[in-house]
Chains A and B, each alone.
Chain A
Amino acid sequence: MNQVDRNPDPEAERMRIIRGRNRVFGVLLIGFAVLIFAISIAKMA
């Protein structure tokens, strides 16, 4: 993303970035939990 695309309000821009990061982190966390669950089943098989 370049500087031109950024929101002119720094606080709104900051919140947008943090929301985006939280969403991605949440998805990764869920994915990791599912992976650990699947690994446990695979190791037991």
Chain B
Amino acid sequence: MTTTTAQALPAEWRDFFALTKPRVMSLVIFTGLCGLLAAPDHINPVLGFTAILCIAVGAGGAAALNQWWEADIDAGMKRTAARPLPAGRMDRTSARDFGIGLSVGSVLLMGLAIGWLAAAILALSIVYYAVIYTIWLKPRTPQNIVIGGGAGAFPPLIGWVAATGDITAMPVLLFAIIFFWTPPHFWALALFVKTDYAKVGIPMMPVVAGETSTRRQILAYAVLLLPLSALPWFIGGTGAVYGVSALVLSTGFLLLSLRVGLRQRASEDDTMKPEKQLFGYSIVYLFALFAALVADHWLVQGAIA
């Protein structure tokens, strides 16, 4: 009886908000803002705010479409079973329409207020996440995270393009840093939530290729990330503040990845502490790296002024 009553009720506004994955959005907003602030051109604060709002709303729309498509999968995983759709607090049509509305609205506003190049990249990032990653790659290949990681790499590129109206080497490097950061970040998570992904048939790397291969690949990406993160400094796009920060942070990332890459699960009761530490550090790493990028830009600009 309670269930029937709950299903007949309209969804709460909080459920619509939850559909936008606010925790993921915080990283999207932050990296987008850093791309915008680190760009060489100045942007009017109102337009800058609008650009970040469009990036956030677009990401929220893509997240809603992701949850609309994956409602059945989410219901089978402990981590996602309480989301509005699998918990039965919202119908799928509402989630789909909400996702489409946010996506189209954010692209239109970006185009009209900021520029159509930034709007086109925003549209591409939404299609990349909602269609290429969610519908096409995620259920088909263990490389889903590698290619799908591109979706999360768009915000600093969009922020930069919103400020400058142009695509140069620097925003492409920022894109590449997040692209190469994504596999070790998600595979570290997938290692300690392996049972859940296996249960719903998602071909995550640890499920398909095995733990040993996943650990080696985490290490490989961490090795690549070290020089890549410092590349903006090497090409003269940033100063030493960013360069040294990138080298220190990436060395820490590599050391934690070494612990994960060179170990084996001791037993089924293994606490997976190194994997959890790497996952936690990877989030701090990205925040710190992009904060260093902005700090470097403002320090250099302040010194010039």
Among the 9-residue stretches B44-52, B140-148, B181-189, B226-234, the one with 4 or more Cβ atoms under 8 Å from chain A is B44-52
Task: Report the minimum CB–CB distance from B51 to chain A (whole Å).
Answer: 11
Taken together as a complex, chains A and B put the C-alpha atoms of A13 and B113 apart, in Å, by: 40
Q: How many A-B residue pairs have CB under 8 A?
A: 40
B133-174 residues with Cβ-Cβ distance < 8 A to A are none
Q: Judging by beta carbons under 8 Å apart, are A3 and B6 in contact?
A: yes
Among the 9-residue stretches B10-18, B242-250, B272-280, the one with 4 or more Cβ atoms under 8 Å from chain A is B10-18
Q: Judging by beta carbons under 8 Å apart, are B44 and A10 in contact?
A: no
**Out of B2, B47, B113, which one reaches A3, CB within 8 Å?**
B2
Given A3-B2, A3-B6, A6-B6; A42-B47 close (CB under 8 Å): yes
Chain A interface, >50% SS class? helix
Q: Judging by beta carbons under 8 Å apart, are B13 and A21 in contact?
A: yes
Residue of B nearest to A24 (CB): B13
What is the 8 Å Cβ interface bit string for chain A, positions 15-30, against chain B (1 contact, 0 not)?
0011011001100000
Taken together as a complex, chains A and B put the C-alpha atoms of A25 and B11 apart, in Å, by: 13
Taken together as a complex, chains A and B put the C-alpha atoms of A11 and B53 apart, in Å, by: 36
5 A-B pairs with the lowest CB-CB distances in the bound complex, closest first: A42-B46, A24-B13, A42-B44, A38-B46, A39-B113
Q: A residues near B, CB below 8 A? A: 1, 3, 6, 10, 13-14, 17-18, 20-21, 24-25, 35, 38-39, 41-43, 45
Given A1-B12, A17-B12, A42-B44, 12 more A-B residue pairs with CB atoms under 8 Å apart are: A1-B14, A3-B6, A6-B6, A10-B8, A10-B9, A14-B9, A20-B12, A20-B13, A21-B10, A21-B13, A25-B13, A39-B113
